[in-house]
């Protein structure tokens, strides 16, 4: 239910469902937190995403996984916090993978940050030289930067 609410931009209902779940003694899982962070990203609730990410271990007993970091990068990116998103990708306690860089690249494309998009696309191509989407977005960002 939390995931359904979160994905349909009904974050307030997802949060209420989480509170109800916890009151009834049902523990939050990695998937619960992922759904919550995803909903925050979809809803543009960057501060809410940060809050839940920072408290997830203490409040829910869930250690942040690479997927949780991806969700936070996505939320930061959607919220135009590209500096923070890039810093998070570069400093998280996991090696950034394609998903890490694609999340940042998508945000750069969304907000017209060609220079950062080039960096992200280059990192994707380092990890997967056959990634045609990154190649196309790299070319596209080069054209946007030149305008």
Average pLDDT over residues 132-138: 71
State which of 3-17, 56-70, 104-118 shows the largest mean pLDDT: 56-70
Q: Quick one: 20 exposed, middle or buried, by C-beta within 10 A (0-12, 13-18, 19+)? A: exposed
Which carries the bigger pLDDT value, residue 80 or residue 129? 80
| Whether the predicted pLDDT of 146 surpasses 70 | no
What is the model's pTM?
0.88
Question: What pLDDT score does 13 carry?
Answer: 93
Average pLDDT over residues 4-31: 91
Structure confidence by residue, pLDDT tens digits, 60-107: 999 999 999 999 999 999 999 999 999 999 999 999 999 999 999 999
Q: Which residue has the tokens 């070319």?
A: 139
| Whether the predicted pLDDT of 110 surpasses 50 | yes
Under a CB-based contact definition with an 8 Å cutoff, are residues 56 and 64 in contact? yes
| Whether the predicted pLDDT of 135 surpasses 80 | no
Question: What pLDDT score does 50 carry?
Answer: 96
Average pLDDT over residues 8-17: 90
Question: What pLDDT score does 147 carry?
Answer: 47
CA dihedral 18, 4, 37, 57 (to 10 degrees): 40
Residue 132's pLDDT band (boundaries 50, 70, 90)?
confident
């Amino acid at each position: 239910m939390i995931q359904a609410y979160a994905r349909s931009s009904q974050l307030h209902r997802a949060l209420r469902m989480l509170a109800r779940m916890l009151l009834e003694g049902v523990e939050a899982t990695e998937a619960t937190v992922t759904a919550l962070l995803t909903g925050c990203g979809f809803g543009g609730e960057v501060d809410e995403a940060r809050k839940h990410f920072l408290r997830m271990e203490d409040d829910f007993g869930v250690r942040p996984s690479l997927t949780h970091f991806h969700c936070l990068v996505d939320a930061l990116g959607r919220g135009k916090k590209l500096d923070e998103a890039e810093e998070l990708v570069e400093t998280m306690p996991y090696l950034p993978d394609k998903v890490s860089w694609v999340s940042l690249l998508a945000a750069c494309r969304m907000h017209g940050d060609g220079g950062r998009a080039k960096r992200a696309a280059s990192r994707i191509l380092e990890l997967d030289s056959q990634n045609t989407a990154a190649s196309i977005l790299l070319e596209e960002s080069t054209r946007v930067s030149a305008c």
